[in-house]
Structure 1
Amino acid sequence: MNSQYYIDLANKYSAHNYHPLDVVIERGKGVWVYDVDGKKYLDCLAAYSAVNQGHGHPAIMAAVVAQMERIPLTSRAFRNDQMGPFLQELCDLTGYEMALPMNTGAEAVETAVKAARKWGYKVKKVARDQAEIIVCDGNFHGRTTTIVGFS
């Protein structure tokens, strides 16, 4: 099967809320990704920087496999033995007192909006429901109802 097959299949069954490039990636190694037609591409996008460590780095793969063998995921409803040490290392690295990990960029933007509004109301004494958020035009902030209009 070639790229056109997968493109047609996705176009038929996927909601058209996104306009991806007509390149069908099947695997990656290091800084390179390969499509189903055998073409090789330098991955300058890195999944919008979500995988900027490259693809298939042996040390990262070993760490992922080791964690998956222990437990792949815990809800934040429970504590786990990885969060505290991770947050400590992150705070030591950044110089901040606390950190709030997020799953997505959209969550991070939503949380930043909430924090900015709270700061505006509590610290700057902005009148209730009068806070305004300024964003960069043409940037991508996420796809939630609140922030989709920012982009």
Structure 2
Amino acid sequence: MKARLAKNRLTHYDSAGAPRMVDVSEKPFTRRTARAHALVRIQPEVLEQLPENPKGHPLEIARIAGISAAKRTAELIPLCHPLLLTHLDVETTLVSEGVEIVSTASTTGPTGVEMEALTAAAVAALTIYDMAKGLDKSIEISQLYLLEKTGGKSGVYQRGGPKEG
């Protein structure tokens, strides 16, 4: 997969190389969306037992955990801007290799919601691991990535390459 590079330098460092929060005060408010993906690989016999978990239904609890985590992204990632999220959803789907997670975040503001979408997917995956680890220690969390984003100066990004238009 060929990645589209946005710039030739990291934006979270000043000219002296010190870490900094990017100044977005001059950026226009636009609608921003992002979707992220994660996969929790679980043995088939464990996957069948997930709905019977005594701690509650892991997929629903993971959904709520992902939503809660996205709202706290700026507390977890030091140079991330605190955002007013206007929408956040986490979908969990049982697939042959485990649980697929897709999170969607949106806001209207001067900076994107990619980190919020990624945080939601990651924490939802960790929650499933936590709830199923008693049955299987070999659970694997993989394929955490940005599916797409819209809004802002860089426009539309879709995994596999930019979307024209």
Same fold (TM over 0.5): no
Give the TM-score category using the shorter length.
under 0.3
Quick check: which one's helix share is greater? 1
Quick check: which one's strand share is greater? 2
* The structure with more radius of gyration: 1
Which structure's relative contact order is higher, taking Cα pairs within 8 Å and 6+ residues apart? 2
Q: TM-score, normalised by structure 1?
A: 0.24
